[in-house]
Amino acid sequence: MKIFYAIQATGNGHISRAMQLYPYLQKFGEVDFFMSGSNASLAIDLPVKFKSAGCSLFYSTCGGLDYWKIAKNVRPLQMLKEAKALPLKDYDVIINDFDSITSLACKLQKVHSVQLGHQASFVSKHTPRPDKKSIMGETILKHYASAPKNIGLHFEKYDSFIVPPIIKEEIQQANPKDMGHISVYLPSFDVSCLEKAFRSLPNQEFHWFLGDIKTKQKLGIKIEKLTEKKGFKQVLILLEILHTLSKSEDYTILNADGFAFEAQPQNNNKIDEIFKYINENFNQHISLDEIAGLVSMTVPAFCRFFKKSTGKTFTKLVNEYRVVHATKLLSESQSSITDICFECGFNNFSHFNKLFKEFTGKSASKYRNEMMNLIQ
């Protein structure tokens, strides 16, 4: 028997699962793997016969989908070409771990397949969702890698086709010890988002594994805890902080060229205030007089300050906010492109089209059509 196994290589979990299943699948026949996606970091010890940049899903540093980055990397025509080229009819079984190209290929070639993975468990309406429902998230779960049959993986059996997750043997055979803390492994998340979530859990100590975040982010929580501890415990935490700093290579030499730099912390406050105002008002006209007055600056002084601080003009940054919001509305809403243009703060449709194409590389109508074709 010949088995075709498609892996969504957006994250390491899909790859890790395939590596765990591979020895068992070999008992039933020859297994060929298709790696679809480009932003995983795990070393792959599998016989990969087919590869593709795929339609990778990108996530923000706070866990949500990054629609802007997904939109910039979608290549519908290339995906269609690859879907037609996959020789799926040469295989007896098609296993699809959340790959859109394989799902499309099965539909085009009229080949049966099985969707396997955690995402497949959300085919069931009984699988819990967040309180705040995401229309785009639900659409992706439903259409991104759909198949006639599903094997959902979840810790709870919410439906008849859901089974427990596939866990690496090293983890199953490990001897865990209670060290008095909870380990958190979320390397793609921004520490500020995690802090906000985990601070709601009182009387718990967390040890963080956060990938390659900067030293100041790793130590931020410990430094804050210094004020909560007393006596010898406070000294121990301080020693741990100093030890981490001594081993860190994440540093900058100050005044290396003999120049003194006078820090101006008030500038950070000004930038924060400006960005907050943009975020709350980008869908309206914001004049330079208005925004300069907000931070008590003249217009010329503000323009120089903003360009030096952000590397962009104020108008360019506001337009980027508007275009990103437009990509979200084009994907999630049924509003006309003209309505979306004005809803995002543009007052000229041709100007909107020009900027949208400049930022995304395609027109708003083409972008919407590609997104719709992707999820149908």
> Residues 233-248: pLDDT tens digits?
676 677 777 766 665 5
CATH assignment of the domain containing 46:
3.40.50
Quick check: is 328 in a domain?
yes
The DSSP line for 14-74 is: HHHHHHHHHHHHTTTSEEEEEEE-S---S---S-EEEEE------B-TTSSB-HHHHHHH-
Is residue 282 assigned to a domain?
Answer: yes
Element (H, E) at 208: strand 206-209
- The partner residues of 183 in beta bridges, in order of sequence, read 207
Looking at the structure, tell me whether residues 21 and 122 fall in a common domain. Answer: yes
> Does 257 map to a domain?
no
Residues forming beta bridges with residue 34, ordered by sequence position? 6, 50
195 and 324 together in one domain: no
Last residue of a domain, one of 169, 192, 223: 169
Domain range for 238 is 175-247
183, 163: one domain = no
Which segment of 105-114, 160-169, 360-369 scores lowest on mean pLDDT?
360-369
Residue 352: inside a domain: yes
Domain boundary among 169, 196, 229: 169
Q: Is the model more confident about 370 or about 356?
A: 356
Q: Are residues 49 and 83 in the same domain?
A: yes
DSSP 169-182: HHHHT------SSE
- Number of domains within the chain: 3
Confidence of residue 214 (pLDDT cuts 50, 70, 90): low
Average pLDDT over residues 242-265: 45
Tell me, yes or no, whether 324 lies in a domain. yes
> pLDDT value at position 266?
45
Last residue of one domain, picked from the residues 118, 148, 169:
169
The candidate with the shortest Cα–Cα distance to 186, out of 195, 177, 178, 176, is: 195
- Together in a domain, 29 and 53: yes
Measured between alpha carbons, how far is 9 from 130 in angstroms, rounded to an integer? 25
Say whether both 188 and 47 belong to one domain. Answer: no
Place of tokens 């903003």: 306
Question: What is the C-alpha R_g of the chain?
Answer: 25
